[in-house]
Amino acid sequence: MEVSAMIGSSHPKLGRLDLARTDVDFCNLKYNCRISTCFGGKPRWKKAGLRFTLKAFQSEAVADESKSASGRRSKSEHVSNIALSLSGHSIDNNVKPPLKVCLVMKRDNVKLYVGLPLDAVSFDCKTIKHARAIAAGLRALKLLGVEGVELPVWWGIVENDTMGIYDWTGYLAMAYMVQQIGLKLHVTLCFHGSQKPYIPLPKWVSQIGESEPSVFFADRSGQHYKECLSLAVDDLPVLDGKTPLQVYHSFCESFKSSFSQFMGSTITGISMGLGPNGELRYPSHQQPSTNNGTHGVGEFQCYDKNMLRFLKQHAEASGNPLWGLGGPHDAPTYNQLPDSNSFFRNGGSWESPYGDFFLTWYANQLLNHGDRLLSLATSIFNDTEVTTYGKVPLLHSWYTMQSHPCELAAGFYNTVKRDGYEEVAKIFAKNSCTMIMTFPGMDQLSDALVHPEETLSSHELLLAQIMEACRNNGVKVSGENSSDSGAFWGFEEIKKNIMSGDNVLELFMYHRMGASFFSPEHFPSFVQFVRSFDQQELHSDDLLEEEAGSLVET
């Protein structure tokens, strides 16, 4: 089956895809299991069904109208009350009693989104990959009361072959599919590349980088990071006579024009890519953690030709030309610990006049880059009804050290003596943008549970600091997690950190739809998570805690 859309068409064609009925298999070869999702009949709460099938586990969920014992609910309440009946058979064929989950979605506070697969659109941008599976998944999310989905739109797919030639076909088809199912769409404009799945920068950009590698970030050893352009070239005509900002501007203008029929209705939010993984930061962690799980401090990324030139100019202007020869010589490399060299130690070079000079310059380069890109996004989309966003990472490792080494290496001049997030919040406030905090492993956001003492990590303290900076500057905050472990207790940690106390977020994006997302090890817990968001009372037919536990164990 092929799904395609023609640019310029007000209604992208979905080929033979029938959104009223979709049968699909999500296959997980690693665990030798198959999950089948089926929707049939007219798209009414009463008729829609959801079925997951495994070799060792079967459960069936059928949406129906909920009725209270007292019968006092009005017809309008039935629209938001969804009952999912779950029945399971163990591998020895012992039948378990029916289990029910009653969803009461009021959605007054946090808006919940689920990320679509990173490679949802084919590399040639002509089709939606696994279109029937995605359609089935979208219907499942709609039944649960999820607000919408997040779609990554890749620069390397849309403008791959030639500068200024865009192909939006597959993404238009995806937007149309989401619209037909009745969900909202949050779009992330990805001006970076990805390793898993492999999605590089546009071919014409990579060809420029082969002849002029200084368009990329570089570390002290001269290794280049080729998954995004260096912020030092933002205003330099390095892309066939144009600056990256000019190229990004044209890309965003083309997106706005091509998706005008969806703007403000289906598309309600746009995240502007700001750097590696779309986040406002330097690529200070290019290498994986060591085998024992120890998270190093990262490495400063100031050694490409243009960054060094700017550093030299700044040092000469400050009257200290010798400070402009390079980054700190006594800083650790990627996976080294903070005390392996003297820069980040208590009383180390970070506290010296030179340290303050370098860290201020390094952080300001990042802040100015973020300001330029957020301003670009706002100037293009401010006449639509779409909210603009930018992502800021939660770099919690080594946070309780005085120097905060991971944050310093990534470009945030935040230490025990200096608040580095007030300036970040100010550029979001200046550009009327919402901040998305990206939480690595947000299902583990409990300092007491999982973090080894040697990393001196604190999610909670850093989260509180950033939230306070945003409150001080009137910046709205949303969040997303980048972990898919899906542990049942993990959802409780997520909810605690996005809805407790002052940490109430406007929107939360849970990543990502796919085979593991819909697996019986994960999906029942996700159902419970969604169900718990705004429910104010329990009903007699609710799923009991012990029954939920037995379902997850199965």
Query: What's residue 459's pLDDT?
Result: 80
Query: What's residue 410's pLDDT?
Result: 96
Query: What's residue 475's pLDDT?
Result: 96
Query: What's residue 294's pLDDT?
Result: 61
CATH number of the structural domain spanning residue 427: 3.20.20.80
Model pLDDT for residues 321-348, shown as the tens digit of each residue: 999 999 999 999 998 999 889 999 999 9
Residue 342 covered by a domain: no
Which of 346, 355, 390, 357 lies closest to 372, judged by CA? 390
Residue 15 covered by a domain: no
Query: What's residue 502's pLDDT?
Result: 63
- Are residues 457 and 400 in contact, defined by beta-carbon separation less than 8 angstroms? yes
Query: What's residue 126's pLDDT?
Result: 96
Average confidence (pLDDT) over 134-154: 96
Q: Please, what is the end-to-end C-alpha distance for the chain in angstroms?
A: 34
Return d(Cα 295, Cα 399) in angstroms, integer: 12
Range of the domain at 185: 111-215+229-288+359-534
pTM of the model: 0.79
Tell me: pLDDT of 550 over 50: no
Query: What's residue 67's pLDDT?
Result: 36
Which of 39, 104, 52 lies closest to 543, judged by CA? 104
Q: What is the DSSP string of 392-422?
A: EE---TTTTSSS-HHHHHHT---BTTB-SHH
Query: What's residue 288's pLDDT?
Result: 52
Residue 554 covered by a domain: no
Return d(Cα 48, Cα 61) in angstroms, integer: 10
- Kindly report which listed range (118-132, 361-375, 537-551) carries the lowest average pLDDT score: 537-551
Residue 71 covered by a domain: no
Residue 204 covered by a domain: yes
Return d(Cα 25, Cα 132) in angstroms, integer: 9
Residue 8 covered by a domain: no
Model pLDDT for residues 446-467, shown as the tens digit of each residue: 444 444 445 688 888 898 899 9
Model pLDDT for residues 394-404, shown as the tens digit of each residue: 998 899 999 99
Task: Identify the bridge partners of residue 480 per DSSP, sorted by sequence position.
Answer: 438, 509
Query: What's residue 345's pLDDT?
Result: 94
Return d(Cα 231, Cα 282) in angstroms, integer: 9
Residue 418 carries which side chain, given as an amino acid letter?
Answer: R
How many structural domains does the chain have? Answer: 1
Please state, rounded to an integer, the average pLDDT across all residues of the chain: 77
Return d(Cα 123, Cα 160) in angstroms, integer: 9
Residue 394 covered by a domain: yes
Active site residues: 279, 480
Tell me: pLDDT of 138 over 90: yes
Query: What's residue 500's pLDDT?
Result: 57
Query: What's residue 455's pLDDT?
Result: 63
- Are residues 186 and 114 in contact, defined by beta-carbon separation less than 8 angstroms? no
Query: What's residue 528's pLDDT?
Result: 86
State how beta strands 33-39 and 22-28 pair.
Answer: antiparallel
Model pLDDT for residues 376-394, shown as the tens digit of each residue: 999 999 999 999 999 999 9
For the chain, percent of residues with pLDDT exceeding 70:
69
Q: To the nearest 10°, the Cα dihedral for 422, 427, 432, 438? A: -70
Model pLDDT for residues 485-518, shown as the tens digit of each residue: 444 457 777 777 776 556 668 899 998 898 889 9
Return d(Cα 103, Cα 517) in angstroms, integer: 19
In this prediction, residue 438 has a pLDDT band, given cuts at 50, 70 and 90, of confident
The SS3 call for residue 289 is coil
Residue 62 covered by a domain: no
Tell me: pLDDT of 106 over 90: no
